Structure 1
Amino acid sequence: MTQEIRTITIGAGQARPRRRSQKHTRRRVRLNGWTVAKYAALTVAGVLLFRAGAAYALTERGYKAIGGEVFALFLPVFYYTISATVRDYIKEIKSIFREEKDHEKTC
């Protein structure tokens, strides 16, 4: 019986590994310390408001349940969405006034 010797080549029959394109590379995110502190404070405030609301609701209802006081936990999310909306609104108004001034200069 003859033993068959096989040569194994690395990667034979397999596709070459693709190089990652520029858009898939990881980016380093720089965090502003004040922003982190602000959202940490909002999170703590939300938890404290939730606990106070839950205690008040327990005395009112007479039994333990979770109701509307849970929305206090979303305080950081509400702050972010409202502040982003107001920021975009102000930016839009400023751009409208700039366009009007530019239009007046050209006329």
Structure 2
Amino acid sequence: MTQEIITITVEAGQMTARRKSRKIDQRRPVPVWAIVKYAALTIAGIMLFREGAARALAYRGYFAVGGEVFALFLPIFYYCLSRTVRDLITDIKNGFKPEYEED
């Protein structure tokens, strides 16, 4: 059993491997207002769910989880809607031009 030594050289036309550097120390901090906003939305969603479950219990006469469970997704709905509106406003300002041109 012979062991062969393989050497790889970088010649013209070949790229060297690039490593993505992780800059853990340079991460953008999360603003406190964002944490407070989503915590308030979560609490509001829980309160809406509990109120909806109580009303549904009174209406149905038995406990079951129905559409009121979607109140728990209030932070996710808010994020999706706000992101969509933000992108729409950006598109309107830019005249609906693509961000990049395809060659």
TM-score (norm 2): 0.70
Shift of residue 26 of structure 1?
5.3
Which structure has greater helix proportion? 1
What is the root-mean-square deviation in Å for CA atoms of aligned residues? 2.0
TM-score (norm 1): 0.67
**C-alpha distance in 1, partners of 2:77/2:59?**
27
| CA radius of gyration, larger in | 1
Unaligned runs of 5+ in 1: 1-19, 100-107
Matched residue type, 1:55? A
Percent of aligned pairs sharing the same letter:
58
Q: How many residues align?
A: 78
Residue 65 of structure 2 corresponds to 66
Residue 32 of structure 2 corresponds to 33
Residue 17 of structure 1 corresponds to none
SS in 2 for 1:96: coil
Shift of residue 21 of structure 1?
2.5
Shift of residue 22 of structure 1?
2.0
Residue 21 of structure 1 corresponds to 19
Unaligned runs of 5+ in 2: 1-17, 98-103
